[in-house]
Amino acid sequence: MSGIALPSSPLELGDLVTESRQLLARLALRPRDRRAAVLPSPRLVRYYVSLGVVDPPLSHRGPRALYGARHVLQLVAAKVLQADGISLAEVADRLDGLDDAALAALLPEPGPAPVTAPTLPLPAGAEVRLQVRVQPGFDVTIDPALLAHAGNVPLLADAVGAALDRVARALGDGPPIPGPPVED
């Protein structure tokens, strides 16, 4: 598959998630519904490993699990299939036993690589996040790497909408939260 540069060295969990998110951003998926998160998280990776959707880590460096390019392919292929409305159980069945070439064949051609601006060095362990105020009392925090490609904006909007749907279901028919109406 052309246009995809996969990592050649082992990745820690956070790096696996970052690599997968960047590739998913270039694929600009449009999910059929909001049942499955479009962007993976460390927790999701561990869950997928427990279900057999993603292989167990290659090895461990102390307490840290190490992953490889195959894990990126499995994670992204799972998200591509889920975006097509396929259940996680069926995703697990479809991915079972596929080699790297077959996994890569499941992925659509990616868009252009995002252009990144030079950044200032950060202290070790520091993270950069963008906080957007939607309305007073409602802020959304975004990893700026997700905004490097314009195709991510609709995906992020869908993810925020899905999160709000989950919150609404959890709250049931409680009283409305006071505040100014949200404008489009």
For 179, residues 6+ apart whose C-beta sits below 8 A from its C-beta are 135, 136, 137, 138
Cβ 68 vs Cβ 20: under 8 Å: no
Region of 5 on the Ramachandran plot (φ > 0 left; ψ -120 to 50 alpha; else beta):
beta
Q: Where are the domains of the chain?
A: 11-111
CA 155 to chain centre: 10
For 71, residues 6+ apart whose C-beta sits below 8 A from its C-beta are 11, 16, 45, 54, 55, 57, 58
Please state, in angstroms and rounded to a whole number, the distance separating the CA atoms of residues 51 and 60: 19
Please state, in angstroms and rounded to a whole number, the distance separating the CA atoms of residues 33 and 122: 37
Model-level pTM?
Answer: 0.60
Let me know the angle formed at the C-alpha of 155 by 5 and 69, rounded to the nearest 5 degrees: 25
**Whose structure tokens read 């461990």?**
60
CA distances from 153 to 124, 125, 149, 157 (A): 29, 26, 8, 6
pLDDT by 10s per residue, the chain, length 184: 556 778 888 999 999 998 998 888 888 777 776 666 778 889 999 999 999 999 999 998 888 999 999 999 999 999 999 988 889 999 999 999 999 999 999 988 776 655 555 556 666 766 667 777 777 777 878 777 776 666 667 777 777 777 777 777 777 766 665 555 555 4
Q: For domain 11-111, which CATH number applies: 1.10.357, 3.10.110, 1.10.1660, 1.20.120?
A: 1.10.1660
